[in-house]
Structure 1
Amino acid sequence: MAQARRWIPTAILLVALLLEPCAGFYLPGVAPQDFNQGDELQVKVNKLTSVKTQLPYDYYSLAFCKPGKVLNSAENLGEVLRGDRIENSPYVFRMLEDSYCNIVCKTDKLSKKNARKFKRKINEEYHVNMILDNLPLARLKPTADPSYKAYDRGYHVGFKGSYVNEASVEKHFIYNHLSFVVHIHKDPNYKTSRIVGFEVTPFSVKHEVEKSWNGPADTKLSTCSRDGKRRVGADQPFQEVEANEEIIFTYDVAFQFSPVRWASRWDMYLYMSDDQIHWFSIINSLMIVLFLSGMVAMIMLRTLHRDISKYNQLETQEEAQEETGWKLVHGDVFRAPVHAGQLCVYAGTGVQFLGMTLVTMFFALLGFLSPSNRGGLMTVMLLIWVGMGAVAGYSSSRLYKAFKGTEWKSITVKTACMFPGIVFSAFFVLNTIIWGEKSSGAIPFSTMFVLVLLWFGISVPLVFLGSYLGYKKPAIEDPVRTNKIPRQIPEQAWYMRPLFSVLIGGILPFGAVFIELFFILTSIWLHQFYYIFGFLFIVFLILMVTCAEITIVLCYFQLCSEDYNWWWRAYFTSGSSAFYLFLYATFYFFTKLEITKVTSGILYFGYMAIISYCFFVFTGTIGFYACYWFVRTIYASVKID
């Protein structure tokens, strides 16, 4: 045991060192960066994204201008899993120095293959994403209210259209001129400045060379000038995407002083949706669920108080009356269920989920997992999940010993491998599909190796350690004795059948989260930021209370009808909310998304099935343990001979 305790920290340190070069464990953009006039500003490029395909691609998968040497930025584990591919670009600014008509490059004549790639990305409405000082590039969207500013991340690769005299011929045009605006904030007490905004207005311009091409630095264009006198406008001919076309990429950059401080520079990105609707929906859901929970709690307390008083009074008066209701099954209520070991495995995994969620919420509320830390949320969740392996092993072994089980090693192996194995297998299949599409969203082999190393190098040993400690503890004693011969369960009414009661039980927990679920799905599939972790924490608490109360109520009704097989039903009662989550995800797919590719649809439903499965384990465990506490409490409160 002492050797195991010495080995665990060593293993964690070893894995951290292995992860450092390939995953880059750091939190980007935590500290502000100060710039002096003339300092070089390097623009980085990120993946190409589309809400229509959900398949990210590397920026240089298209024939864009490249720097002398393409360098990959260090990315944390979460960024890699999200498909981020951050690289340098030929777009380089000088702090506080406006410049116009900067020529980036002139491409060679487009091949048919490259022209088809551009057209395909334009048809699928792909966005180009860039980063400056850890700020994503934003484009101002036109709105009906001029006073309200809304932004999109990045800009489209191009657009489809036709000239006036060719109305019947639809052509593809590329945005090859970018007009950047860098917003800076200057504190009067300091000489340096900080970047607080990064905007772009894209144009499609068929550039014309005045004399001859002499390279980007020495060539003059008749369509724009470096002194800004001839500016690019919407009235100029568009740059068409066709084979054998030569495309000249240019950009302008202007610096504007802004009153926005560095601490508030992410506000423009976080206000991309209508926050008033968000707040109203959350408060409305909160009040409804709190009211329902209060009613359920009041009914349960009054009913149970009356039942316990009645039973104890009968025992005191020594009335030889036949027992009725939930007291009648006291000799069978703690009988081990069918597949008790499997129930222990799922309960332990659910406790691991609960611990991971609580710790992640804590860090999110403190601001460590803000959107500026790209991939930070996913990285922290994975690491905390691995660290909670000891809790999973301890919980499953304690419950298994209460069932008088003896094969604790087998249960430990299942706890360590079953749920992660199912999720990893599904994830591997989906990743293979993404790899077949040659998308940058495909997880590299090195990252797969890191995930397996985290699993078997840290999580599995911690599960065994927790299981060993849990099984050493004394077995949980039941408040009543279990009869040797099981009692016959009477015929149940239709509304007490397992399927009906389970499906009814999942409605209320899902109702507690479905409003917030809309915004979470929007942030995942429509590439928006999710940032209101305070509201999410409140919804999380409501979800736990709701799962516990609805499971307790239905379990009480089940015991009153003399059905003592409550173990698995308690798990499925609150866990069935995952079924409604998947149904809502299906509804969201057909009403909010514009996915047309079969591959993208498979990826969407595959990932949502994984999320629903995780939600089932999480909510089912909460309901099960709440019901376990409830049953032990009520049977310990009555006098039974």
Structure 2
Amino acid sequence: MAVVLQKGLATAMLAVAVLPLTKGIFYLPGVAPRSYEKGESVRLFVNKLTSTKTQIPYDYYSLPFCHPSKVQGESENLGEVLVGDRIEKNTLYELNFKVQAPCQTACRVLLDKQKKDKFIKAIDQEYRAHWIVDNLPVAVKAHNDLRPDDAFFIRGFPVGGIQDKKHFLFNHIRLMIKYHEERNDVPTEGGGGIRRSLTSRIVGFLVEPYSVRHKYEGTWPTAEAEVKSMKYSTCSIAAPVTNRQDSLMTLEDNDEVIFTYDVEWIEDKATPWAHRWDLYLKGNPDDKIHWFSITNSTMIVFFLAGMVAMILVRALHRDISRYNESTAAEDAKEEYGWKLVHADVFRPPQTMPMVFAAMVGSGVHLLVMTFVTLVFALLGFLSPANRGSLVTAFVLLFVFLSSFAGYASSRIYKMFRGTDFKRNTLVTAFLFPGVVFSIFLALNAAVAARGSTLALPVGYFFLLIFLWFGISVPLVFVGSYFGYKKPAIEHPVRTNIIARGVPPQPWYMHPALVIIFSGILPFGAVSVELFFIMTALWLHQFYYIFGFLFLAVLILVATCAEMTIVMTYFQICNEDYRWWWRSFLCSGSCALYIFLYSIWYLAKELQIDEKVGMMLYFGHMTVFTFTFFLLTGAIGFYAAFWFNHRIYSSIKVD
């Protein structure tokens, strides 16, 4: 208990030390509901521009849209910055609660060749603009051709489109903001009566983009008041804007563009504030197919794991009974299989034992971080309403749980009778973060050269350095210190000084074949859920089914453990006691299938046509697969280690 209190106190002190530097890093937006009065100003924020074809986000005002004379940025947390969000809180779009505003003018932009080329390039690359009202992202209603009555919603709206080989710009936006009203009985101050209170809250934010070549009389005014009161023959209350092919705002044929908008307030009696995100999380109607697929794969994996466990227990029970029963001397000579390697099975690995200990420690660290993150997600702290909270949780939990890596690594390294404890701790502290940070630096340089919002600002760059060197590395040393203080793990059998020779192995026990085969079932356990994660990550959708993800992780842990135990049993039955690295690689090999799946997903689901976009894709997927490799590898090692301890402590050794 004292050790736990010391570690908790140290973590708390470090957390307090980093608070002044984080600048809102723990801010969770949208938690508390806000009520509006009629006529009250409602702020519209603009966010980044995104494209699934390039995967490179840009600042909204990187295109020549309407913008105020001075752009004011919104405070963002670490997660928002890392995913490329850049939110500006002042725009030329004016919204007043429950006040209908048709045919409002935002601005007029004169188009030169450079501005036209920017818009044309953005349209060709299918960029979408993202707005925010009351913490709700803008969404566009889409239709499923197979189910016309069952609509779904897509975040953001397109910059423009192509018609007859000409590029047109969506310069008129119809904002449809839904609100919900509740009547509440509030006691008066004196307590003698009841006062009726009306609470109005925003519960939806949809837009309809239109392209129209506006027509007006006379010359364009210079006074701002006159601009706001401009009248158009192409837009009025009686004749709302529609997308007509003969009046599209084509960039090739026009040298000016007038940005206009409608504000339409719609009362939604069926959607309370607590359920306003249901619309955004509904997704494509075909999602039901994936729900059934997840359930089916879950049942199959549980069934296979149970069958493997039953067969394994029965076989081991027979072996242990035969080995432990009193037999004649001549019968003892016929002993074979896993008992013959009892004096070598716990011999430390000859190949890179320090690296092995560091990889196991990193895997334990990532596994603990994964489960803690999922617990927070299941409790609702990491919902999509809290922008950037999921990425922020990943970073902070990784940093503040680093002591698990040092503790697990030191325990393994001490079991191997290692003596260079400081070097082992340093390798553990820099193994996973070093690989990830190296990839991050390369990607950050690439996106910074393109002017993308993914490029990390200098202040946040030094914040990450501080979190790594100032908190994570010291916590690894703290965990290592407590790990080294504990006595070394004792094995149930003694290890001989001279190693036993390994007999020739059958072809089906070749290490490469065993390792590759072992990763199939763990990959199958998460393949369906992986599709949802990839879709959310690369098609800019929300991921919110954390319950199924938690179940998939549990199945993954069970499957990795079962497969590794089976392969380790076959290995030692063939008198091959070199199971340390193979147990790690057997379960970790499912990361290979994830990387191969990412290549298939790129070919079938994505259309990335930018070199930097391809770098981002494979860079992120490399980090993802490396994380998966360490996490599942640690699961396999501990399963095999527990299995060997159990069976060799159950036999009588002379």
- Give the TM interval when normalised to the shorter protein: over 0.9
Partner residue of 1:11? 14
Structure 1 residue 599 displacement after superposition: 2.2
Structure 1 residue 221 displacement after superposition: 2.8
Q: Which runs of 5+ in 1 are unaligned?
A: 163-169
1:99 has 2:124 as partner: no
Structure 1 residue 74 displacement after superposition: 1.0
Partner residue of 2:312? 300
1:335 has 2:347 as partner: yes
Residue identity matched to 1:261: P
- One of 287, 290, 294 as aligned partner of 2:299: 287
Partner residue of 2:54? 53
Partner residue of 1:638? 651
RMSD: 1.8
Instruction: Report how many residues are paired.
Output: 630
String of CA shifts for 1:378-416, please: whole Å, max 9, x gaps: 101111111111111111111111111111111001111
Cα distance in 1 between the residues matched to 2:25 and 2:412: 39
1:595 has 2:602 as partner: no
Partner residue of 2:273? 262
Q: Does the CA contact (< 8 Å) of 1:24 and 1:74 recur in 2?
A: no
String of CA shifts for 1:252-303, please: whole Å, max 9, x gaps: 0111111211111111111122231121111011011111111111111111
Structure 1 residue 12 displacement after superposition: 2.4
Residue identity matched to 1:310: R
String of CA shifts for 1:43-83, please: whole Å, max 9, x gaps: 10111000000000000000011124211111111111100
Cα distance in 1 between the residues matched to 2:220 and 2:427: 68
Partner residue of 1:166? none
TM-score normalised by L of structure 2: 0.94
Cα distance in 1 between the residues matched to 2:442 and 2:333: 62
- One of 540, 548, 572 as aligned partner of 1:535: 548
1:624 has 2:625 as partner: no
- One of 316, 319, 325 as aligned partner of 1:313: 325
Q: Which runs of 5+ in 2 are unaligned?
A: 185-196
Return 62-71 or 127-136, whichever deviates more: 62-71
1:81 has 2:82 as partner: yes
Residue identity matched to 2:381: F
Cα distance in 1 between the residues matched to 2:356 and 2:260: 62
Mark the CA change 1:530 to 1:33 in structure 2 (over 3 Å): closer, same or farther: same
Return 270-279 or 208-217, whichever deviates more: 208-217
Structure 1 residue 5 displacement after superposition: 8.2
Structure 1 residue 210 displacement after superposition: 2.1
SS for the counterpart of 1:129 is strand
Structure 1 residue 438 displacement after superposition: 1.5
Partner residue of 1:167? none
Structure 1 residue 319 displacement after superposition: 5.2
Partner residue of 2:193? none
1:272 has 2:280 as partner: no
- One of 200, 204, 214 as aligned partner of 2:211: 204
Cα distance in 1 between the residues matched to 2:610 and 2:327: 69
Cα distance in 2 between the residues matched to 1:625 and 1:450: 35
Partner residue of 1:70? 71
Cα distance in 2 between the residues matched to 1:383 and 1:324: 51
Q: Does the CA contact (< 8 Å) of 2:212 and 2:234 recur in 1?
A: no
SS for the counterpart of 2:44 is strand
Cα distance in 1 between the residues matched to 2:7 and 2:610: 50
Partner residue of 2:249? 239
| Alignment map for 1:397-412 (pairs within 5 Å) | 397-412=410-425
Return 275-284 or 127-136, whichever deviates more: 275-284
Return 126-135 or 204-213, whichever deviates more: 204-213
SS for the counterpart of 2:343 is coil
Residue identity matched to 2:15: I
Cα distance in 2 between the residues matched to 1:453 and 1:157: 39
1:229 has 2:224 as partner: no
Mark the CA change 1:260 to 1:6 in structure 2 (over 3 Å): closer, same or farther: closer
Structure 1 residue 16 displacement after superposition: 2.0
Cα distance in 1 between the residues matched to 2:593 and 2:87: 37
Residue identity matched to 2:128: H
Mark the CA change 1:483 to 1:113 in structure 2 (over 3 Å): closer, same or farther: same
Residue identity matched to 2:233: T
- One of 180, 187, 193 as aligned partner of 2:182: 187
Structure 1 residue 605 displacement after superposition: 1.3
Cα distance in 1 between the residues matched to 2:252 and 2:40: 38
Q: Does the CA contact (< 8 Å) of 2:143 and 2:150 recur in 1?
A: no
Cα distance in 2 between the residues matched to 1:478 and 1:454: 38
- One of 580, 605, 621 as aligned partner of 1:567: 580
Partner residue of 1:612? 625
Structure 1 residue 316 displacement after superposition: 9.5
Cα distance in 2 between the residues matched to 1:314 and 1:85: 75
Structure 1 residue 147 displacement after superposition: 2.2
Return 619-628 or 320-329, whichever deviates more: 320-329
Q: Does the CA contact (< 8 Å) of 1:575 and 1:623 recur in 2?
A: yes
Cα distance in 2 between the residues matched to 1:256 and 1:82: 32
| Alignment map for 1:127-526 (pairs within 5 Å) | 127-144=128-145, 145-162=147-164, 170-189=165-184, 190-214=197-221, 215-219=223-227, 220-224=230-234, 228-235=237-244, 237-242=247-252, 245-258=255-268, 259-273=270-284, 274-314=286-326, 320-338=332-350, 339-526=352-539
String of CA shifts for 1:156-192, please: whole Å, max 9, x gaps: 1011113xxxxxxx21111000011001111132423
SS for the counterpart of 1:471 is helix
Partner residue of 1:44? 45
Mark the CA change 1:327 to 1:178 in structure 2 (over 3 Å): closer, same or farther: same
Q: Does the CA contact (< 8 Å) of 2:108 and 2:259 recur in 1?
A: yes
String of CA shifts for 1:324-377, please: whole Å, max 9, x gaps: 100000010000002111111001001100110110010111111111111101
Partner residue of 1:114? 115
Q: Does the CA contact (< 8 Å) of 1:350 and 1:618 recur in 2?
A: yes
Residue identity matched to 1:61: S
SS for the counterpart of 2:107 is strand
Cα distance in 1 between the residues matched to 2:511 and 2:260: 66
Q: Does the CA contact (< 8 Å) of 1:80 and 1:443 recur in 2?
A: yes
Residue identity matched to 2:265: F
Q: Does the CA contact (< 8 Å) of 1:311 and 1:638 recur in 2?
A: yes
SS for the counterpart of 1:192 is strand
Mark the CA change 1:523 to 1:8 in structure 2 (over 3 Å): closer, same or farther: closer
Structure 1 residue 523 displacement after superposition: 0.3
Residue identity matched to 1:510: F
Q: Does the CA contact (< 8 Å) of 1:396 and 1:467 recur in 2?
A: yes
Q: Does the CA contact (< 8 Å) of 1:223 and 1:232 recur in 2?
A: no
Mark the CA change 1:184 to 1:610 in structure 2 (over 3 Å): closer, same or farther: same
Structure 1 residue 90 displacement after superposition: 1.6
Cα distance in 2 between the residues matched to 1:501 and 1:256: 61
Structure 1 residue 224 displacement after superposition: 4.3
Q: Does the CA contact (< 8 Å) of 2:25 and 2:392 recur in 1?
A: no
Q: Does the CA contact (< 8 Å) of 1:99 and 1:252 recur in 2?
A: yes
Residue identity matched to 1:240: T
SS for the counterpart of 1:600 is helix
Return 446-455 or 543-552, whichever deviates more: 446-455
Residue identity matched to 1:218: E
Return 582-591 or 135-144, whichever deviates more: 135-144
Structure 1 residue 142 displacement after superposition: 3.0
Q: Does the CA contact (< 8 Å) of 2:77 and 2:388 recur in 1?
A: yes
